[in-house]
Amino acid sequence: MSPSFLATCFALIVGLTIELFSRAAGKSDWRLWAGIFVYALIQFAVAATGFYENTEAIPPRFLLNVLPAIALIIWLFTSERGKAFLNSLDLKKLTWVHVVRVPVELVLYSLFLQGSIPEIMTFSGNNFDIVMGLTAPAIIYFGYGKGMISPTLIKIWHIVGLILLINIIATAVLSVPFSFQQFGFEQPNVAVLKAPYNLLPAVIVPLVIVAHLVGLSRKPANK
């Protein structure tokens, strides 16, 4: 698979993630979609200049790629307006966001083959996040749809998903050629410093985290 084709595929995955998340917002989905898309476009443009590829800057420039999303997540779960928005999300539709973790993992494996990330970040290494994408349809259909999976088991699924996500986030961060790098010395994680792959931590991961946290904070309503 050529680098340009892989990058195009990943850009489409980013678009799909935004679309799936926005659909859970109902009537306000177009405004949410537009807002996330503009933010993604800005982050893409910054990464395209090579700004994030400077790993020696103090503090790390890459913080600008992730801090806005972190700040927004904190605001969503602590402010009244943010909580109101989260409570308006359709849990069943929101859970579809996790399905994108399957194509994301396939892209990561392709990036490993191309020498842009270490194997430890893939499903052939220490990343088992693909399991959540594969099991999400069952949670949607049997859990939120048919009510055949108990709310407790659904919450356990979300907890496991967060643990797997934290695992790959930590692995990815410690594989970037920063001063504190711990993994992937022979083949470091340089992909996330470049466009469009910087959108994985800037857009996709935050949306997946929100989907899990909302799933944990609310009682499933079978539909």
pLDDT at 139 exceeding the cut of 70: yes
Distance (Å, whole) CA 152 – CA 129: 21
Examine residue 175 and state whether it is found in any structural domain, yes or no: yes
Structural domains counted in the chain: 1
Please report whether residue 136 resides in a domain. yes
Phi, psi of 181 (to 5 degrees): -55, 135
Q: Six-digit token pair at 186?
A: 């022979």
Is residue 93 domain-resident?
A: yes
Domain assignment present for 222: no
The whole domain housing 15 covers 3-217
At 26 the pLDDT is 82
Provide the pLDDT for residue 56: 94
Q: 80 pLDDT band (50/70/90 cuts)? A: very high
Residue 7's contacts (CB-CB under 8 Å, 6 or more residues apart) are: 196, 197
Asked if the model's pLDDT at residue 219 lies above 80, the reply is no
pTM: 0.96
Task: Note whether residue 223 is domain-resident.
Answer: no
**Hey, is 1 helix, strand or coil?**
coil
Average pLDDT of the residues in 100-123 = 99
Per-residue pLDDT, averaged over 146-157, amounts to 96
